[in-house]
Chains A and B, each alone.
Chain A
Amino acid sequence: MLSVENLTFRYRRGGEELFDDLSYAFEPGRVTAVTGASGRGKSTLLYVLGLMLTPLRGTVTLQGNNVSAAADAERSRIRAESIGFVFQDSALDPTRTILDSVTEPALYAGWSRSRAQEQGRVLLERMGVGNRADHMPGEISGGQAQRVAVCRSLVTDPAVVLADEPTGNLDQANAEGVLTALSEAAGAGALARTVVIATHDPFVIEFADEVLAL
């Protein structure tokens, strides 16, 4: 499980403090939408949860461990193994194939290439883009690219998936496809994982199981 306790963050000394001692538990198997007005720190919260930013106060706890104060190398390892990211613009490497993009986090997690590719192909098939595995990112649509990004976030079978405005650049049909994929990723029971989406899109908020308003 992922939770935060008394969380406060600021970008620079003297800057505005965000979250105001936020405490929240993100339940596995549920999609949580983080919403709020612009500048309230929706994306920032995701980056703190994703261990790319260190909170000013408070803790981030993942699977019972306080991970917010871990050393950089340890945080990188946790990101690779236990946290999946979906960015607003999919952020696929334009110089590598779809399959190579999907397998990237698994390689950082120390997986062999063959194992990562096997897992990547399974995920691409499940998301309906299996036939695009050997294509380049420039050869697929925006909706497909975002589904590929979801596959990439799931390739190491992480405990947490963090998505920053994943439908921001998509039409409603494609957005629904991506949200469905994220919802399926949340899963249930023993295979459940935590999915957190930063958004201001009412459609996403409506789709989510929980809403955290900042």
Chain B
Amino acid sequence: MRLPSLLREAAKTAWATKVPSALILLLVTVMCAATLATVGRTAAAEAQLYERLDSAGARVLTVTEPSHDSHELINPSTIAMTAGLSSTERALGTITAIDVVNGAVGEGGERVPAWGVYGDLEQVAVLESGRWPQPGEALVSAEGMERLNLDAPTGWVAPTSVDAAEDWAVVGTFRPRPPFGDYAAGIIYPLSEEAAVTTLHVVLHDANLAGAAQSAVLQLLDPPAPDHLTVQSPLSMAQLQEELTGDFTTFGRTMLLGVLAGGAFLVAIVVLADVLVRRKDLGRRRALGASRGVIIALVVLRTAIPAMAGAAAGITAGVAAARAFDAYPPWDFAAGTAVLAVLAACVSAVLPAVYAATRDPVAVLRTP
């Protein structure tokens, strides 16, 4: 039998036997909708959590050298080498923040933190107005401007510490880039090459690279003693991410298999009932020349047709239901669910189809 004829026969059979077709459609709809409403929500939650865990804040490796015992391990050379690592998205150095006040107001003014940054300031900030600062100049955040009582990004700021003699002219405003959101509270200024940088910030491409990146950075810095440097690593975050992903995957897989197996079992019962009711029709087909293979293909395809319609309806309903709970199942998960549901329905139809194909057509035709 030619494939177009086979498909047409299956479609006509599915249309002619409306009750089993409707039941198969309904079951597959429920399978898909239930999967998306449960496993899909889990997948969406997993995706959201993964997104959060993979945010810039969760990808920062911070290495601090004590200023009182500095070997100047964090210097322009090691910062540049760290920036060159394949796992590095951005690398820069900072010194401990100091307090500054509006120079025009003087000591009585409100204090805001000032961060000295070694490296391209574009790595930590987006210029919102004015220009990028030169040595001796600074950018101020919107919050910093307000606290410093600056009407415009002009003027100057002065450190409150007697140790810091430098003043900075304000030449523009900035918005901090993640993960340097803390800088929104004050000002940033560029450090010169001679500055004693104490902290190295490394933003990684992926939190999962934390282990390898940490080893590589420590190898570059080569501390004189293992406890000379303080390291804050997203390694535990990466491990947490891995564990959560594993937990979600196991839960989702178990739930998915449960829904599919339950649905497939019910589809198999419907298809079996259908072939029992239609045994005369199938016996006639065998007598007229349909091979066992054709009968099996007809039964499986007549199941697949309402199953595909059910999958489309179920995915639509499931996505809508998941969105009602603010969960957005990934499209590939939704498509995969539809394919799996249709496959499960087809596989569940195979046994009833084989049963139908192996019945004795003579016994069927001669039974009143």
Q: Show the binding face of A for B, using Cβ within 8 Å.
A: 43, 47, 50, 52-53, 72-73, 76-77, 79-81, 83, 85, 87, 91, 93, 95-96, 100, 104-105, 107-113, 152
Contact = CB atoms under 8 A, between A and B. Distances in A.
B284 interface: yes
B285 A72 contact: no
Given A105-B289, A108-B290, A113-B8, 15 more contacts: A43-B366, A52-B286, A52-B287, A72-B291, A76-B286, A76-B289, A79-B289, A85-B287, A87-B284, A87-B365, A96-B12, A104-B285, A104-B288, A108-B1, A113-B5
A50 B287 CA distance: 8
B285 A107 contact: no
Query: SS class of chain B's interface: helix, strand, loop or mixed?
Result: helix
Contacts of A93: 281, 284
B95 interface: no
A93 B13 CA distance: 10
B5 to A, nearest CB: 5
B68 interface: no
A162 to B, nearest CB: 10
Q: Which 4 A-B pairs have the closest CB atoms?
A: A80-B289, A95-B16, A76-B291, A108-B289
Nearest to A50: B287
Contacts of B281: 93
Given A43-B366, A96-B16, A113 B4 contact: yes
B258 interface: no
Interface residues of B, number: 27
B291 A107 contact: no
A6 B280 CA distance: 32
Nearest to A73: B291
A24 B294 CA distance: 33
Contact of B1 (A47, A79, A91, A107): A107
Given A107-B2, A107-B5, A110-B1, A47 B288 contact: no
Given A96-B16, A108-B1, A80 B288 contact: yes
B9 interface: yes
Given A79-B287, A85-B288, A112 B2 contact: yes
A47 B12 contact: no
A83 B286 CA distance: 12
B240 interface: no
Q: Name the residue among B9, B288, B366 with the largest chain A CB count within 10 angstroms.
A: B288
Nearest to A107: B5
B336 interface: no
Contacts of B285: 104, 108
A81 B289 contact: yes
A106 B288 CA distance: 9
Nearest to A85: B287
Contacts of A113: 4-5, 8
B361 interface: yes
A93 B291 CA distance: 18
24 contacts: A43-B366, A52-B287, A76-B290, A76-B294, A77-B291, A79-B288, A80-B288, A85-B288, A87-B284, A87-B287, A91-B365, A93-B284, A95-B13, A96-B12, A100-B12, A105-B289, A107-B1, A107-B9, A108-B290, A108-B291, A110-B2, A112-B2, A113-B4, A152-B288
Nearest to A105: B288
Interface in B274-305: 280-281, 284-294
A112 B16 CA distance: 22
B273 to A, nearest CB: 17
B292 A72 contact: yes
Interface string B10-53: 00110011000000000000000000000000000000000000
Contacts of B294: 76, 108
B20 to A, nearest CB: 13
Nearest to A116: B5
B85 interface: no
Nearest to A153: B288
B362 interface: yes
Contacts of B361: 52
A109 B289 contact: yes
A15 B87 CA distance: 82
Nearest to B9: A107
A104 B298 CA distance: 13
Interface in B299-337: none
Contacts of A104: 285, 288
A37 to B, nearest CB: 17
Contacts of B12: 95-96, 100
Contacts of A83: 289
A44 to B, nearest CB: 8
A100 B292 CA distance: 21
A155 to B, nearest CB: 10
A85 B2 CA distance: 22
Contact of A91 (B5, B9, B284, B289): B284
